[in-house]
Amino acid sequence: DVKVTQSSRYLVKRTGEKVFLECVQDMDHENMFWYRQDPGLGLRLIYFSYDVKMKEKGDIPEGYSVSREKKERFSLILESASTNQTSMYLCASSLGAMNTEAFFGQGTRLTVV
Amino acid sequence: GDSVTQMEGPVTLSEEAFLTINCTYTATGYPSLFWYVQYPGEGLQLLLKATKADDKGSNKGFEATYRKETTSFHLEKGSVQVSDSAVYFCALIDFYSGGGADGLTFGKGTHLIIQP
């Protein structure tokens, strides 16, 4: 089975901190994604990556950056955390452009105080 | 841009009732359509998918048919169980004519509650 692992289930950070959310997949998938999930808003795409060192902005990239130095790892970075970034963050991966099933991690619940 | 609209709920049903969760979409390319399910405390799991018009996806008693003429992908189940209680997300991925694609576009999710 494909496994997508997010490094933390719960995080509490202070306003202004630099925050790293890590995601690792174990099935050699080309595509990786970061979403945030908020009540009443569903899932919104922050960034995605189709290859190592490659990244594309999603619908809500402001305040975030990403890093993909290795194929299996995709990091989401909050440069200066703010309270409006309190949310559930979901990482996903998929094999390639035509194999579209996405596999999700269990999520990281981030609270910024 | 692409979008997915689904009934938001919560939807509360009794066990063994018939379920329909409506989903409609707008897309500019050639979308594939999905239903994902999120059980409490877990990430999303793919429930079913359909990649072209008139395809029917099915899994665990759930079904959905890709209707291009009505741009819909409604989720149905004939007899729901308490264990079906979860949040259900309709989603699409839109393929460009050149073969590229962006990430999945999701609806806002429908919270389904099944009472014994």
pLDDT > 90 fraction of chain B, expressed in percent and rounded: 72
Quick: pLDDT tens for A23-78.
Answer: 999 989 888 999 999 988 889 999 999 889 889 898 899 999 999 999 999 999 99
Q: In the 8-state DSSP scheme, what is residue A99?
A: B
Q: What residues pair up with A111 in beta bridges, in sequence order?
A: A12
| Residue B97 main-chain phi, psi, to 5 deg | -65, -25
**pLDDT one-digit tens code per residue, B29-84:** 778 899 999 998 888 999 999 988 999 999 999 999 999 999 999 999 999 999 99
Give CA–CA dist B84/B34, Å, rounded: 17
Please enumerate residues of A whose Cβ is less than 8 A from a Cβ of B: 4, 31, 33, 35, 40-45, 48, 56, 58, 90, 92, 97-98, 100-107
Q: CA of B71, closest CA in chain A: separation in Å?
A: 19
Q: Which chain A residues are Cβ-neighbours of B110 within 8 angstroms?
A: none
Which residues touch A62 (CB under 8 Å, ≥6 apart)?
A: none
